[in-house]
């Protein structure tokens, strides 16, 4: 293009604003800044302070050149004499600045190309700023999205007016993604990058689980129940500690829902392969650790507050359950409670069977008060053997007969 047609440019501004979903005034401002740069190139000096105003209805472009009022003009591009300034403004004084109005009819080829480049660059910047402003207040919420494309370990997500990325670390293990797939994502962060704002979304963090429950459990909004803690290995298992703030309200039952409807709704979103354990939160760390290791039966818990470690004694037949597959159960319980848990099998029965005094360990000295907390849970009575039950039954029948 040899010249920059103003009327066509005015029409283009409206079209760009509509296509890019940008405010018309923002696009107009960007174009005016570019035209000011073009005007400096064709008619003035690159260092001049020039403001351009464009009428979108008529396509007229007005340029306003700022000059300093001086006694004697040294550089006409930047200065104007007091006499000439007073013609335009009677009360003009030396040292002040004044704007000279000029009509911009057309621009040369080089200036037009410069304007085009500036316009494209500034439009990208304006678009980024609008995206930042719109999504910054949505950080920490769950939004609906569509999978745009999958690039190796990164999933590109279409959020409507912007695109986000879901790195491998934020995905649900074992979940498959494909273009056009509709899903819910947690907006984790908006990062300012070289190529513009980068929206980072997640389906694998624990906050995603909390927001899903928030949508299914209305009692959370009223404050009747709350989630006290979550530990999660996305796609495998999650442990959630819940509490009730209203007497008589069962927190676990509230989150599970009638016939499991609420927890099942969450599981259907994250995948049926991910198991969700809902336990009752407890202020007492011993009780909390016992609950966190559910469904394991715990015999005793010894806590060291200084090191934030706990030794958990469980029946020998419960050892594998307490640890879980690949250490998963104890690992999630540790994250949930904040204590490093060491699981040990209960050897008390073997020790009691040995009658020699040397076999019985000497009692350890009590640690300082507040440092170690020990709780031994009541042992369950052993089940009788089948032969013992039969003999007992026969004895009862004979006694009744007599």
What is the CATH number for 198? 2.40.50.140
Give the lowest-confidence range in 11-25, 142-156, 175-189: 11-25
pLDDT > 90? residue 136 = no
d(CA 104, CA 36): 10
For residues 120 and 141, membership in a common domain is answered with no
Mean pLDDT (whole number) for 20-29: 78
Nearest-5° Cα angle at 263, 259 to 268: 110
pLDDT band of residue 387 (cuts 50, 70, 90) is low
Residue 352 lies in a domain: yes
Residue 287 CA: distances (Å) to CA of 4, 208, 282, 327:
77, 27, 6, 21
14 versus 373: the higher-pLDDT residue is 14
For residues 25 and 55, membership in a common domain is answered with yes
pLDDT in the model for residue 287: 95
Q: Say which CATH number the domain at 72 has.
A: 3.30.1480.10
Using the 3D structure, point to which of 158, 180, 204 is the last residue of a domain: 204
pLDDT > 70? residue 375 = no
pLDDT in the model for residue 58: 79
Residue 121 lies in a domain: yes
Q: Say which CATH number the domain at 343 has.
A: 3.30.300.20
For residues 178 and 112, membership in a common domain is answered with no
For residues 126 and 176, membership in a common domain is answered with no
Residue 268 lies in a domain: no
65 exposure class (CB count in 10 Å sphere: 0-12, 13-18, 19+): buried
pLDDT digits (tens, 9 = 90+) for 200-256: 999 999 999 999 999 999 999 999 999 999 999 999 999 999 999 999 999 999 999
For residues 42 and 127, membership in a common domain is answered with yes
Residue 156 lies in a domain: yes
For residues 116 and 161, membership in a common domain is answered with no
Structural domain boundaries enclosing 91: 6-134
pLDDT in the model for residue 16: 76
Using the 3D structure, point to which of 181, 204, 227 is the last residue of a domain: 204
Per the CB < 8 A criterion, the answer to whether 32 and 113 are in contact is no
pLDDT digits (tens, 9 = 90+) for 308-333: 999 999 999 999 999 998 999 999 99
Structure tokens at 237: 């298992």
pLDDT > 50? residue 357 = no
Query: Phi and psi for 285 in degrees, rounded to 5?
Result: -60, -35
Residue 93 lies in a domain: yes
Count: domains in the chain: 3
Give the lowest-confidence range in 16-30, 160-174, 202-216: 16-30
pLDDT digits (tens, 9 = 90+) for 108-126: 676 667 667 777 777 777 7
Residue 96 lies in a domain: yes
For residues 30 and 125, membership in a common domain is answered with yes
Put simply, whether the predicted model's pTM sits higher than 0.75 gets the answer no
pLDDT in the model for residue 127: 73
pLDDT > 70? residue 402 = no
Q: Where are the beta strands (DSSP E) in 128-281?
A: 142-151, 154-158, 163-166, 182-193, 196-202, 225-233, 237-244, 275-280
Q: Please list, residue by residue across 7-40, b when 16 or more beta carbons sit within 10 angstroms of its beta carbon and e when fewer do.
A: eebbeebeebbeebebeeebbbebbbbbbbbbbb
pLDDT digits (tens, 9 = 90+) for 242-299: 999 999 999 999 999 999 999 999 999 998 899 999 999 999 999 999 999 988 999 9
Where are the alpha helices (H) located in 162-305, listed in sequence order?
206-216, 219-222, 251-256, 261-270, 285-292
328 versus 102: the higher-pLDDT residue is 328
Residue 73 CA: distances (Å) to CA of 40, 49, 51, 80, 82:
20, 17, 22, 6, 9
1 versus 77: the higher-pLDDT residue is 77
Q: Which of 42-51, 121-130, 187-196, 300-309 has the highest mean pLDDT?
A: 300-309
pLDDT in the model for residue 380: 47
pLDDT in the model for residue 4: 58
For residues 126 and 149, membership in a common domain is answered with no
215 versus 376: the higher-pLDDT residue is 215
pLDDT band of residue 60 (cuts 50, 70, 90) is confident
Average pLDDT, the chain: 82
For residues 181 and 86, membership in a common domain is answered with no
Residue 123 lies in a domain: yes
Give the lowest-confidence range in 63-67, 207-211, 247-251, 335-339: 63-67
Residues found in the chain = 402
Q: How many CA atoms lie within 13 A of 220 on its CB side?
A: 15
For residues 39 and 158, membership in a common domain is answered with no
For residues 116 and 40, membership in a common domain is answered with yes
pLDDT in the model for residue 248: 92
pLDDT > 80? residue 36 = yes
Using the 3D structure, point to which of 113, 134, 155 is the last residue of a domain: 134
Share of the chain above pLDDT 90, in %: 45
Residue 356 lies in a domain: yes
For residues 125 and 144, membership in a common domain is answered with no
Give the lowest-confidence range in 14-28, 224-238, 374-388: 374-388
């Amino acid at each position: 293009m040899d010249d920059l047609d103003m009327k066509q440019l005015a029409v283009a501004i409206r079209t760009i604003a509509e296509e890019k979903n940008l405010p018309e005034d923002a696009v107009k401002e960007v174009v005016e800044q570019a035209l000011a740069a073009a005007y400096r190139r064709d008619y003035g000096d690159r260092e001049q302070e020039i403001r351009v105003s464009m009428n979108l209805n008529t396509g007229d472009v007005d340029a306003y050149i700022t000059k300093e009022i001086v006694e004697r003009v040294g550089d006409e591009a930047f200065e104007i004499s007091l006499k000439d300034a007073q013609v335009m403004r009677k009360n003009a004084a030396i040292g002040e600045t004044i704007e000279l109005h000029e009509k911009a009819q057309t621009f040369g080829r080089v200036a037009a190309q410069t304007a085009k480049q500036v316009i494209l660059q500034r439009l990208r910047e304006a678009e980024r700023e609008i995206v930042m402003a719109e999504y910054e207040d949505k950080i920490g919420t769950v939004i609906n999205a569509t999978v745009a494309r999958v690039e190796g370990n990164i999933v590109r997500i279409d959020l409507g007016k912007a695109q986000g990325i879901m790195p491998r670390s934020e995905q649900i293990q074992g979940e498959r993604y494909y273009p056009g797939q509709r899903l819910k994502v947690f907006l984790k962060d908006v990062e300012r990058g070289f190529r513009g704002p980068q929206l980072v979304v997640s389906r694998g963090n624990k906050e995603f689980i909390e927001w899903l429950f928030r949508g299914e459990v209305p009692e959370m909004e009223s404050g009747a129940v709350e989630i006290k803690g979550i530990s999660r290995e996305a796609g495998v298992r999650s442990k959630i500690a819940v509490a009730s703030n209203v007497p008589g309200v069962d927190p676990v039952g509230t989150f599970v829902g009638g016939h499991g409807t609420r927890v099942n709704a969450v599981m259907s979103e994250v995948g049926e392969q991910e198991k969700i354990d809902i336990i009752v939160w407890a202020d007492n760390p011993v009780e909390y650790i016992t609950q966190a290791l559910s469904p394991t039966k715990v015999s005793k818990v010894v806590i060291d507050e200084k090191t934030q470690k706990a030794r958990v004694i469980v029946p020998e037949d419960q050892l594998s359950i307490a640890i879980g597959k690949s250490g998963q159960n104890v690992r999630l319980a540790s994250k949930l409670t904040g204590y490093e848990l060491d699981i040990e099998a209960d050897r008390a029965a073997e020790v009691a069977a040995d009658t020699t005094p040397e076999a019985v360990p000497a009692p350890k000295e009590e640690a300082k008060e507040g440092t170690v907390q020990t709780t031994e849970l009541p042992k369950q009575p052993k089940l009788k053997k089948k032969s013992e039950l039969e003999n007992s039954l026969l004895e009862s029948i004979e006694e009744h007969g007599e």
